[in-house]
Chain A
Amino acid sequence: MITLSEIALALFLVADFILAGASRLRSAVRFVAMQGLVVGILPIFMWNWAEEGCPGARVWIIAFVNAVVKGVVLPLLLMYAVRKARTRRELEPIVSFPVSQIIVFFVAIGAFIVGRLLHVHASSASELAVPVALTTMGTGLLLICGRKKAITQVLGFLILENGISVFGAAILLEYGIIVELGILLDVFALVFILGIAVFQISRTFDSTDTDKLNHLGDTHLMHPHHQHDHVHA
């Protein structure tokens, strides 16, 4: 029987494929927002309603805060950064869009095999959860490594984080409310600081391509004409 949580996880997988091939940053942010909303609501879908009745306040609060922060607040912040940094598309990715989609396809196949091999918790809510979590983590890493725009790398980090959250939901891990909110706060603050950094990079370098960030290294001081760039203090 197809449950609500399985539909949600299937949506997640579709979003991974789209994100791997998305060049327009605004639509990419929208799909990450959708993933964030699903991550927030997933624990409620996965809740064993028949046996355990209505979940307690803890579950509702965490689901609500997660969905609001990951599905609304962070995407709005990123939209703002996209607008401020005046970057609308990812033009010359290191790994091209079709190739990225093929990579994600193979990662998904691998994730389903791994998910079959690992016998996750007997009472795990859905067989889809672990493969989807691993595929999402793979997609996130691909976006961090295979794209040039700083903002796409931030998106990749958010996708990676979403994948980890799905994994936590899949193995029915319970940390307690303080830790859940702490993790969320960290992710929020991190994306906030990264957003500010993107803005500063675009202002200082006149570009948000991270391959401009290649000045530091172990050899540059050997060239005498570079020495004067390094006068800081």
Chain B
Amino acid sequence: MEHNLRNLLLILTPVLFLANLAQSFFYLPASSRHASSPHMPSALYYTLFVAFFGAMIFALTAESLPLMWVAIELTTLVSAPLIAYHRDKDGLEAMWKYLLICSIGIAFALFGTMLVLHSQTIGSSRWFMAGFAFVLAGYGTKTGLAPFHSWLPDAHSEAPAPVSALLSGALLNCSFFAIVRFREIAPAEAVGFCDNSMLALGIFSVAVGAIFMVRQNDFKRLLAYSSVEHIGLITILYSLCAGCVDVKNMVVLALFAHIVAHSLTKTLLFQTAGNLLLAFRTRAVPVVQGLVVSMKGHAVLWLVGIVFICAMPPSVLFLSELALVFSAPFWVSALVLLLLFIVFAAMMKIALSMVMGKPLVKPDILPKSLAIVPSILLIAIILLGIASIFIVMA
């Protein structure tokens, strides 16, 4: 399964990279026309952007576990300056938090890697469990699992839209894959410990995401907490099927489908949110109202994106979350359903308040090109959803 997941991510990551690179070409010039604060030179931006992609591919393809550590630390290093694209106080603060919190996490992951390698030399499952705990906390920080997620909302909300989208859509998956690799080499006695701790962190992440989405006043932070929620769901799905050899298993397929659908939908949403930020010059939800009057196209992109990320059919996420609810133990399903209901209510309330009503302020006119990539993504997501329904029916 590790092998299949790696192949999937090796296809998905370049797709997301290209989508966000294309969006950068449209977003950056528009952004600098609207900007009041200084920003980094675009040559540096594109260099770091491509290096970020390279580091992620390096992390996915690295064979040895310590080398993978080097690669994942590299993703932090090259993506941190991208978060502080706008050289103002908030950008600096987000970058500092991202660097420091992720580096401490990654240092713990190195310690955990050492313990795991040592456990393999001396053949002790207790050492493995200690190592896995550190690995889970360490790479979990980078994956955005609660309670190690505190850098994520700040970084995702401060970064320019294509970077937020790539962080959320691609980087979280790559660091999740690092945890998967350790889980797949667990000795038999440690399997229960690994799966239970992942399940617990997964549920906690969904809960934290749900709680912070209620009454959220910043639409980019809303999407960031939605990422915490979805990475929690992915972790729960994985803990239900970890170590499964049969790839045709329903839960394994649901896991793969969830990863793909979440990445694409979240990219669409972050790009749309970036465009709204450019037009309204604020991320405050109360200011953005009446999109359906002032920005019709973006109203559709935003509302359909939110509906899809909330797993309404025909979203692929509906099928994967259905598989989760069917295959999890009863209390897990009940809890997850309750939390998903809260998420749905919170996100729809915010999305509808932004789309409906009378416009409070008149948004700036945006170039049409900014909507190209999100529109393509929207069509792709709808087609994927319809296709997945036909596949399940057949």
A residues less than 8 Å from B45 (CB atoms): none
Contact between A186 and B282 (Cβ–Cβ < 8 Å)? no
Which 7 pairs across A and B sit closest by C-beta, in order of nearness?
A182-B70, A221-B217, A186-B73, A213-B93, A216-B154, A179-B66, A221-B284
Task: Assess the B77–A201 pair: CB atoms within 8 A.
Answer: no
When C-beta atoms are compared, the residue in chain B nearest to A180 turns out to be B66
- Mark the stretch among A26-34, A43-51, A81-89, A187-195 that contacts chain B: A187-195
CB proximity of A61 to chain B, nearest CB, Å: 17
How many Å from the CB of A219 to the closest CB on chain B? 8
Whether a CB of chain A sits under 8 angstroms from the CB of B80 is: yes
B340 sits at the interface (CB 8 A): no
Asked if B380 CB lies within 8 Å of chain A CBs, one says no
Instruction: Determine the distance from Cα of A230 to Cα of B74 in the docked complex, in whole angstroms.
Output: 30
Give min CB distance, A135 to chain B, whole Å.
Answer: 14
Residues facing B in A77-95 (CB within 8 A) are none
A17: Cβ under 8 A from any B Cβ: no
A233 and B35 within 8 A (CB): yes
Q: Classify the secondary structure of A's interface with B.
A: helix
Q: How far, in angstroms, from A144 to B121 measured CA to CA in the complex?
A: 33
1/0 per position for B252-287, CB-CB distance to A under 8 A?
Answer: 000000000000000000000000011001111101
Indicate whether A233 sits within 8 Å of B31 (C-beta atoms), given known contacts A171-B118, A179-B64, A201-B96.
Answer: yes
**Stretch from B107-115, B163-171, B371-379 forming part of the interface with A:** B107-115
Q: Size band of the B side of the interface?
A: 35 or more
Contact (Cβ within 8 A) B90 A215: yes
- Are A204 and B104 interface neighbours, CB within 8 A? no
The minimal Cβ–Cβ distance linking A150 to chain B, given in whole angstroms, is: 7
Whole-angstrom CA separation of A64 from B278 in the bound complex: 51
Q: A153-193 vs B: 1/0 string, CB under 8 Å?
A: 10001001100100110010101101100110110011001
Give complex CA distance A193, B82 in Å. Answer: 12
A222 touches B (CB below 8 Å): yes
Interface assignment of A106: CB less than 8 Å from any CB of chain B: no
> Which residue of A has the minimal Cβ distance to B217?
A221
Instruction: Name the residue on A nearest B284 (C-beta).
Output: A221
By beta carbon, the residue of chain A nearest B111 is A164
Q: Does B350 contact A (CB under 8 A)?
A: no
- B67 touching A182, Cβ below 8 Å: yes
A176 to B96, CA, bound (A): 32
- Please indicate the chain A residues that have their CB under 8 angstroms from the CB of B96 in the complex: 150, 197, 201, 210, 213
Chain A interface: which size bin?
A: 35 or more
B-side contacts of A221, CB under 8 Å: 217-218, 283-285
User: A160–B107 contact, CB under 8 A?
Assistant: yes
| Binary per-residue interface labels of chain A (209-220) against chain B in the complex, 1 for a CB within 8 Å, 0 otherwise | 010011110110
Of A160, A200, A201, A233, the contact of B34 (CB 8 Å cutoff) = A233
A183 to chain B, nearest CB (A): 6
B100 at the A/B interface (Cβ < 8 Å)? yes
B381 at the interface (CB under 8 A from A): no
Binding site for B on A (CB under 8 A): 121, 137, 141, 144, 150, 153, 157, 160-161, 164, 167-168, 171, 173, 175-176, 178-179, 182-183, 185-186, 189-190, 193-194, 197, 200-201, 204-205, 210, 213-216, 218-219, 221-222, 227, 230-233
The listed residue with most A CB atoms (<10 A of its CB), out of B87, B93, B281, is B93
Which residues from B are CB-within-8-Å of A218? 153, 212, 216-218, 221
> For B87, what are the chain A residues with a Cβ–Cβ distance below 8 Å?
200, 204
A160 to B108, CA, bound (A): 9
Tell me the nearest residue of chain B to A189, going by C-beta: B77
Contact partners of A227 in chain B: CB under 8 A: 282, 284, 287
Q: Which residues of B contact A144 (CB under 8 A)?
A: 100, 104
Residues from chain A with Cβ under 8 Å of B103 in the complex:
157, 190
13 contacts between A and B (CB under 8 A): A137-B111, A157-B107, A160-B104, A164-B111, A176-B64, A178-B67, A182-B67, A190-B76, A193-B80, A197-B99, A200-B84, A216-B94, A233-B278
Bound Cα distance from A55 to B87, whole angstroms: 49
Flag if B89 contacts A204 (CB, 8 Å). Answer: yes
CA A185 to CA B56, docked complex, whole Å: 17
Shortest A156–chain B CB gap in Å is: 9
A139 to B94 alpha-carbon distance, docked (Å) = 25
Pick the contact of B157 from A160, A213, A216 — CB < 8 Å?
Answer: A216
**Does B352 belong to the interface (CB within 8 Å)?**
no
Are A183 and B70 interface neighbours, CB within 8 A? yes
Cα distance A221–B157 in the bound complex, in angstroms? 12
Please judge, given known A-B contacts A137-B111, A179-B70, A213-B97, whether A193 and B81 are in contact too, CB under 8 Å. yes
